[in-house]
Amino acid sequence: MQLTGWMEENGRLLDRAEIEIFSVSRLSACGGEFLLETDDCFIRDKYHIMPGNPKGKPVITAEPIVSGMSLDEAIQTAVSLRASDDAVTTLSGGVDSSLVAALAGLPCIAVGLSGSHDLIAAQQTAEILDLPITVKEIGIDDIRAALDDVLEIIPRVTPLDVEIGITGYFIAALAKETGAKRILTGQAADELFGGYARYGRSSDLRADLEADFAGLVQQRERDAAVASHFGVWYSLPFMDERVVRASRTFSPEELVKGDLRKIAIRSVAAKHLPEEIAWRPKKAMQYGSGISSALAKIAKSEGCKGCRELIQKLVPDKL
């Protein structure tokens, strides 16, 4: 058998010797982030977090058997399973990444333009949590140089994918510089717990969350493509099946109430973080890092009205 990633069974990490003797049916009930090739088939984690394009054999998507847990216990279990020695946490200072950072206790990384919201918030949060952090200040010239790479790497080219892809490009590059192989993130918390402003206007919040969660596959493909470019990969505690199931036990009113969003996860975070971090308003990474405004300046310098027009100029066949 050839394993990429890691596997667990009911909260216990598996070593390769165990995996070698498990039956396909037992392996198909395991959790983790993995792509496993056996003699007869491929088995991959439920949400296809571990990238790969298996061919030539049947592909089985695992359906992990997990115990029902409270949201707090589920998140703690998910993070502890992923907090390996070869990992770092990418920290923006928002509630999602801060909760992961606090529970993982790993070194943190942060990227952004000088003086950007995320760099300042990440450094302040790391200091409060007494965690080591490596930051990388990036400039407009760095972003312009990375833009050509990102346009070639990401599978779907839209202004939003480019903005987030460039942010991820510098995160993955910094992780590699620190010697890490795995990057823990807070991704999927918004789609599970109602983090976006539009959810406050939703007429059917549960349906909107389910649709957005299903749509995360495109985000994972983008992020995995950029991370793979640097030989690292993302690890997503909030996409642990225990957390996903726990998130679905909350009523819409327990998730979003007017302008207050992600109430359930903020309530959990308040047990592990100072109140000012647990209830800190959300700021999207492309804005918090300063990448979005920097791309707008680059577009203007190249005679374009915005990021979309810049993309059309650089890769007209992809947009």
Distance of CA 182 to the CA centre of its chain: 11
Each of the 319 residues of the chain gets a pLDDT tens digit; together they read 899 999 999 999 999 999 999 999 999 999 999 999 999 999 999 999 998 889 999 999 999 999 889 999 999 999 999 999 999 999 999 999 999 999 999 999 999 999 888 899 999 999 999 999 999 999 999 999 999 999 999 999 999 999 999 999 999 999 999 999 999 999 999 999 999 999 999 999 999 999 999 999 999 999 999 999 999 999 999 999 999 999 999 999 999 998 899 999 999 999 999 999 999 887 666 777 889 999 999 999 999 999 999 999 999 887 6
Please state, rounded to an integer, the average pLDDT across all residues of the chain.
94
- Predicted pLDDT at 48: 94
- Predicted pLDDT at 236: 97
Locate the domains of the chain by residue range: 2-61, 71-288
Q: Which CATH class is domain 71-288?
A: alpha beta
HSE (CB half, 13 Å, CA atoms) of 269? 26
- Predicted pLDDT at 217: 92
- Predicted pLDDT at 287: 72
- Predicted pLDDT at 118: 87
> Is 180 in contact with 89 (CB distance < 8 Å)?
no
Alpha carbon distance 241, 47 (integer Å): 9
- Model pLDDT for residues 181-215, shown as the tens digit of each residue: 999 999 999 999 999 999 999 999 999 999 999 99
Alpha carbon distance 5, 26 (integer Å): 17
- Predicted pLDDT at 283: 67
- Predicted pLDDT at 15: 94
Alpha carbon distance 3, 54 (integer Å): 12
User: With the CA atoms of 183, 188, 193 and 199 taken in that order, what torsion angle do they form, in degrees rounded to the nearest 10?
Assistant: 130
- Model pLDDT for residues 266-303, shown as the tens digit of each residue: 999 999 999 999 998 876 667 778 899 999 999 999 99
> Is 168 in contact with 220 (CB distance < 8 Å)?
no
> Is 115 in contact with 293 (CB distance < 8 Å)?
no
For the record, the structure tokens of 138 come out as 């990036």
